[in-house]
A and B are shown apart, each in its own frame.
Chain A
Amino acid sequence: MSEQTGTWWIWRVFWILLIVTAVEVILGIIKPAVLIDNSFLGTTLLNLIFIILTIIKAAYIVMEFMHLGQEVKGLKLSILLPAVVLIPYLMFILLTEGHYIFGTL
């Protein structure tokens, strides 16, 4: 898409990032009780929403601003696979262990 003419797609991503951030901040300030009192996967619904919105923002930055979406498949995979496989794995073992130690303190 480097042949893409115009700058409309840049401003489209800008508005998406801005609106998602604004939603995060507003949710962070009002903290709706229904999202805090209900938990899923060991954390509150509000935190899960924050994490999902963050991943959406990250995807737009990497795929559009960094043009990874337009690279060949092999490059895409060699960039994304280490991050997508290793980071959740590290998160899983460290958070599980941290929670376990908390239980024994």
Chain B
Amino acid sequence: MARQDPKKDVVIVGLGWTGSILGMELSKEGVEILALERGEDRKTVPDFAYPNMIDELKYGIRYGTMQKPKNSTVTIRRTLDETALPYRHLGSFLPGDGVGGAGVHWNGHTWRPMENEFRLRSYVEENWGAEIIPEDMQIQDWGVTYEELEPHFDRFEWMAGISGQAGNVNGEMIEGGNPFEAPRSRGYPLPPLQQTADAEMFAEAARAMGLHPFPRPGANASEAYRNEYGMQLGPCNFCGFCERYGCINYSKGSPQTCVLDALKRKPNFQYKTNSEVLRVTLADDGKTATGVIYWDEEAGEEVFQPADIVILGAYSLHNVHLMLLSGIGQPYDPATGEGVTGRNYAYQMNGGTSMFFKDVDFNPFIGSGTVGMSIDDYAINQIDFGAEGFIGGSYITAGRANGQPIRGIALPSGTPGWGAEWKQGIGEWYGHSMSIGSHGSNMSYRDVYLDLDPTYTDKHGRPMMRMTFNWKDNDIRMTQFMKSKIEPVAESMNPDLMQSSYKGDGAMYDVRPYQTTHNVGGAPMGADPSTSAINRYLQSWDVHNVFVMGASAFPQNIQYNPTGAVGALAYWAAEAIRKDYMPNPRPLV
């Protein structure tokens, strides 16, 4: 080993949302903190500066803000008997890169899971009995309740400057908000964004059918805002370049806009970029970590960075990879169902119906990552799982994220992808389409998991991580149920054309088309050390000075976008570390 650096109290792996939050919160204790980020530094100006960021080819198609597979990727297979192959070209999911992480390129959807999603197994067993849970399904309770997390959801939403309309404040129902949401202690910090035409048409149709539309909450600021750290957002101008882009306008909640300049003022916080953590080092007895080893790109050498506390704040997949490489938690074995690290990987089940209206001008160039209207009438807490034959739910939604010219123009199926007929199709339909989507849960299963690949290694010579994932009947039934609910709403809007896209019987996972970057699980949290890798405070059961942030903690996927829960868990863990762990380091459970 070439170099050993002076010890730090805390080392944080990755400087995205969770790394920034933990840095900010733990720095208040006066401890010396070092964050190690493997990518480049990124600031709104110059890195996201107008107009260069508004380049769909560079960022939307060629993934300018994403990790390069040559630097980091996974191998993927669908079943235990397939041979996994490296994910060489990004498609299905897009891990972010650099300071800010995926918090740079997200759309901004910020939800709270439903109360019963945190205790899903108990909820199912209490209401329908364990027998409705398919044999290979491994759903679990989180070990933490919504009630416990509520102050931390609130904290995250007010830090990230979320625009939205509350539906339930302390049990008091508020007209126009989501009537099915769990009670919140106060409303959102900013009012909802002004709606686009498609969202209003959907909401009107939904209302006419007795459903309950509400503005979807998100981190695109509807007004100028200043958060608890003094950080600021400017009002969103609906340029429609959110997902896959850094916001040009200081309008999207991100580590850059909401945390980092405040954090950089702290004299006890430092960060280094181009510093990829290779593994966590453990003491001889394996019960504590001694620090991390990282590759210092600038110096061209490996560095041992000793630390008393190690926070894994990388992307969910990389957190699990580091745990597997470092021997933190017993690796999960699908044959026996034993082991915890890599267990319960899950994804997201989405579908949608597109509609074409000859006589409606949607002005799709006016868009924002989260503008739109949603319904939760078919959410997890509204569905009779016993009667419907599946466990799960979706929110259903319409809104205009963007009208980008390459990927943003929907055409009726059958229209050629190039040539004169394509041009004609574009001329006829540009600005005349909209869609209603379902964004749904995905359960965890015995043979869906993460482990180290037996064949492929990464550029550092480490085994790559292998993902074994496929769609399951339960979730396909769920999405077909959503189709049956969405299509009548769409039909009631009298489109000239309509086409649906939902996973059907026998659907196999296809890594090529983009689906969602909501890779969750693999280091599930829980109350039982035999089925969870980390306890309710995101603390490793086995190595008590390692805390693992992020969606890798989800024991199965929620029906919502994960960032709200990721943020709340980060604040929840930060409080436990500050108030309980730091004064007396030990297993907290």
A binds B: no
> Which A residues are closer than 8 A to B by beta carbons?
none
Task: Please list the residues of chain B having a beta carbon within 8 angstroms of any beta carbon in chain A.
Answer: none
